[in-house]
Amino acid sequence: PLSVLRSVTNSCAPSAANRAAMASPKRMRDDLLDRGIDRVYLYGARPEEVWVELDPRDLLKLDLKLADVATTIRQTSQDLPSGELSGGEQQVRSLGLLRRAEELKEVEVKALPDGRKILLGDVAKVSEAFKEDTQQGIRGSDPAIELEILRSPVTDALTTASTVDEYLEEIRATLPAQLEIEAYDVRAKSIRERIQLLVTNGLGGLLLVLGVLFLFLNARVAFWVAVGIPASLMATVAIMWASGQTINMISMFGMIMAIGIVVDDAIVVGEHAEQRFRDGLSPVEAAIAGAKRMAAPVSSSTLTTICAFMPLFLISGIMGQIIAAIPFVVVAVLIASLIECFFVLPGHLSHALAPRPGLFQRSSLLRAIGDKAVRFQARFDKRFVRFRETGFRTFAQRAIAGRYVTAAIAIGAFVVSVGAVLGGKVGYQFFPSPEPDRIYANIKMMPGTARADTRATLAKVDAALFRGLETLADDPDDVVVLTMGKIGGPVGSTPFTSVSSTDTLGGIAVELVSSDRRDVLAREVITAWRQAVGDIAGLESLTFAGARAGPPGGDVDVRLSGGEPKVLKAASLRVQELLKRYPAVSDIDDNLPYSKPEKIIKLNDRGRAMGFTTEDVARQVRNAIDGAIAKRFPRDDEEVWVRVQFAREDVNVNLLDRLYLRSPSGAEVPLKAVVDTRDDLGFSRIRREGGRREVAVSGELDLRQSSTGEITRSLEKDGLLDIAAEYGLDYRFAGRAEEQRDTNSDMLLGTTLGLTCIYIVLAWVFSSYTRPLVVMSVIPIGFVGAVIGHAVWGVDLTILSIFAILGLSGIVINDSIVLVTTIDERLKSEQVIDALVNGSCDRLRAVFLTSATTIGGLTPLLFEKSLQAQFLIPMALTLVFGLATATFIVLLLVPALIMIQHDLGTFFRNLFAANAEQPSEA
């Protein structure tokens, strides 16, 4: 949360009212820190100074330098201890500390031979003012002070926001009349909206999950299976609390995804226990049999799912921090679900399977409702069994009989899906940010521009925003909450204090109405704003950007390093011209701005002959321009400087031509007589990375037209290599391209490790080196479903989609494990074809149930229109469509592959047998 205190006065004089206006934010900062707020930063509060302004001609008449006057003030204004008397009984202090302008006017600066005294007030204008060259905030046309209130990573954002809100309500009545307080960019508001969004979708998914359970299972069995959802989630929350995790948008998405996954184990055990009860076992025997029979496959499927999510823990950097909550939540849920499934559920099932009169039998109304529900479930179950024994069985028989065609279709679907992504039919974005609620405009004026001109330009840019909004909305208040300007530094992704104050930089931060309550997109506002600004004299660059979530850095960020600043700047300009060729790239700039024009002065031989040194010249020139600091003393809670300087109107470009220096012999000499001068243009700041000078060329990218990868490849092909070679520089891609490269590397390592662990678990379960390959063959089918889902929804694949595919691989393997285990058990007593078909039919209900519950938990999120949820939809699409595709493919492809495995085994056994018989026949 940020707060703005806006003063209605533009005067730079520290009057009592203005001092109160400056003191109030500092008091607020201290109060908030006392209330437990972690960090509070204060921007725009200008320090107070005492100015002693002198005329150079008066100094010449009095034979004084600025430094002489400053030394006199320093020696006069003192507060020094002077010892103790009588062994410490009495202290002596020399007190003469002058704190106000009126007091300093009485300082004697020179005594004339005739006895007259020249006081400071006789020859100087002594006044109090606020420091001019600091970074300043602007709200409309008024100066503004900003309090930035931040929390630590372990502090609750909503609690912090509540504390701030309560304090602001208390403090408003005590503020000076000329202060107006406004809260803006309150992140807690977005957090509340996103939590509400996910809670709503989570509850909708939970209802769908419960509906699926009660549709396919006995009502009492379904009830106890469903009890595992809150039990496992509460256990997960307890684990998160114990390990220091937080509830955030990503962890809540993990919980929504876990709603469907958490009941998979219980479904398998409950469905098998119910089946054994129908076969004639008692309720207790059926519950025990279900748990014992499914112990191995359920435990192994849990292990494989954990292995599938483990690679997400290996992702480093910002992406690792963003995504880490999902595998943590899922692994915690799986462990809690496994414990509940085998140590709690069987006891409940033993009672649930036994028919007993309950609540439905005690009320005629409830009994009638229960009877209707039972009859509906019976009809549905009868139709499901008929579908399984007729339509699905026939389909399974044909898939197994045409097993090579089945495998070829699966391989073909995978190849087509990969081709669709590589060919651009289904796009890919690394990490699309949610619709921003804040946009920024940064200006950079030509070197040498005065601060007043920068402020005037900033006012023009601010006014252009509202002219642009006239083309988008009837009322600007429907789009914009407020605007906040800053002079002396940039706004947005670059922190306010990241660069030293400069008169040529400024920016405007715009808070938009929440994305779910406006019809205009941020990019449309930026486009209209850019068009409305037009051409402004003296403006070197103007860039626009929206606030970003996710990995730091720009979409396009080219780093050049290894040369002198001027070489880096020349190469940067060439790269910027190269980037302008691409229509998708806008707001191109670099971080090596020119500084103000420099006047280089160098001591000449004549000056050295007169006794001048470079240090002496530099000190006298600096005093003439910036003033000499005579004294620093505390006043209230800040340090006040006494600055002795020439009148500000005399400090202009002609100052050096009329400036006199005092030589060591006491003679007054014109500056231009002892120094040589030349003009130059330097840089306001030079960045280094790894000890080498570096410049970053960045730009905003329209992801609807191109991607970061396409732009980087085009740059290398179209001339970036030649530019780097011509100037003798090294280059690299930073920003999101660098984050993408690091994430891809971590994912490759994690995926390899995860698949290896899955294979080891499966090899242990099946005691075979080849059977795990059959089970793992369904993983690519999940990718096919993900591509289909993104194509149908018209959404690009993202890095979150890839993360979801890793998790999806563990979920679809679960179904394969239970299916293969069932088939292997039937192979002991049945022919291969019969075992495959019957095993597939046996597991149809369980496989469909486990997939349907996970799909049901995530389906509401697919239809969420909130712009804040759009970046989560690719993950939901991957899981929903991946599971929907893999559900039936598992039941058809896995038996077909087992049959192919059997064919190959028979072929090689016959081949080896034939080779073994040939010598005996000879």
Nearest to 764 by CA among 268, 310, 339, 304: 304
Residue 171's alpha-carbon distances to 5, 166, 167, in angstroms, are: 12, 9, 6
Q: Identify the DSSP state of 621.
A: H
Residue 814, φ and ψ in degrees, nearest 5: -55, -50
- Answer whether 720's CB lies under 8 Å from 731's CB: yes
Nearest to 746 by CA among 796, 806, 812: 806
- Mean pLDDT value of segment 214-242: 79
- Kindly indicate the confidence band of residue 918, based on its pLDDT and cuts at 50, 70 and 90: low
474 token code pair:
């009837």
Distance of CA 58 to the CA centre of its chain: 59
pLDDT digits (tens, 9 = 90+) for 18-44: 666 667 777 888 888 888 888 887 777
Q: Which pair of structure tokens corresponds to residue 542?
A: 């103007």
Does position 180 have pLDDT exceeding 70, yes or no? yes
Whose tokens are 């020349």? That residue is 570
- At residue 90, the pLDDT reads 61
Confidence of residue 696 (pLDDT cuts 50, 70, 90): confident
Can you give the pLDDT at residue 94? 55
Q: Which helix (H) or strand (E) holds 718?
A: none
Whether residue 235 is predicted with pLDDT greater than 60 in this model: the reply is yes
Task: Give bridge partners of residue 662 from the DSSP assignment.
Answer: 668
Q: Label residue 922 by pLDDT band (50, 70, 90).
A: very low
Q: Reply yes or no on whether the pLDDT at 9 is more than 50.
A: no
Distance in Å from the first CA to the final CA of the chain = 92
The yes-or-no verdict on residue 801 having pLDDT over 50 is: yes
Segment 838-855 mean pLDDT: 81
- The amino acid present at 521, given as its one-letter code, is L
What's the pLDDT at 11?
A: 42
pLDDT at 676 exceeding the cut of 80: yes
Range of weakest confidence among 251-265, 423-437, 783-797, 848-862? 251-265
Encoded tokens for 697? 């060329």
Q: What is the pLDDT of residues 298-327, one digit of tens each?
A: 788 788 888 888 888 888 777 777 778 888
C-alpha 50/C-alpha 58 separation (Å) is 20
Place of tokens 């040498």: 448
- Res 16: pLDDT: 62
Alpha helices in 99-186 (DSSP H): 101-104, 120-123, 157-171
pLDDT over threshold 50, residue 280: yes
What's the confidence (pLDDT) of residue 415?
92
pLDDT tens digits along 567-608: 888 898 898 888 888 888 887 888 887 766 778 888 888 888
pLDDT above 80 for 245? no
Is 60 exceeded by the pLDDT of residue 491?
Answer: yes
Residues above pLDDT 70, as percent of the chain: 89
Per-residue confidence at 373, pLDDT binned at 50, 70, 90? low
Instruction: Examine the pLDDT at 88 and tell me if it is beyond 70.
Output: no
Q: What count of Cα atoms within 13 Å lies in the side-chain half-sphere of residue 535? A: 1
**3-state helix/strand/coil string of 544-584:** EEECCCCCCCCCEEEEEECCCHHHHHHHHHHHHHHHCCCCC
- Nearest 5°: the CA angle 805, 806, 811 is 85
Burial of 56 per CB tally in 10 Å (0-12, 13-18, 19+): middle
- Summarize pLDDT for 441-476 with one digit per residue, the tens: 988 888 778 888 888 899 899 999 999 988 888 888
Average pLDDT over residues 827-847: 84
* Higher-pLDDT residue of 359, 195: 195
Contact 439, 523 (CB under 8 A): no
The model's pLDDT over 110-166, given as tens digits with 9 standing for 90+, comes to: 888 877 888 888 888 888 777 766 778 888 778 888 888 888 777 778 888 888 888
The H-assigned helical ranges of 629-716 are 655-658, 671-674, 708-715
Question: Which SS3 state, helix, strand or coil, does residue 52 take?
Answer: strand
* 920 pLDDT above the threshold of 60: no
pLDDT level of residue 826 (50, 70, 90 thresholds): confident
Average pLDDT over residues 528-544: 87
- Higher-confidence position of 92 and 371: 371
Total-model pTM: 0.70
pLDDT at 249 over 80: no
* Mean pLDDT across the chain: 80
Whole-number pLDDT of residue 87? 59
Query: Rounded to an integer, what distance in angstroms lies between the CA atom of residue 127 and that of residue 52?
Result: 7
Residue tagged 């060729």 (tokens): 581
Which pLDDT tens digit goes with each residue over 329-357?
888 888 888 888 888 888 888 877 776 55
Yes or no: say if 317 and 739 are a contact pair by the CB < 8 Å rule.
yes
Place of tokens 């469509």: 881
pLDDT of residue 416: 92
Asked if residue 489 has pLDDT above 50, the reply is yes
Q: Average of pLDDT values for 760-766?
A: 85
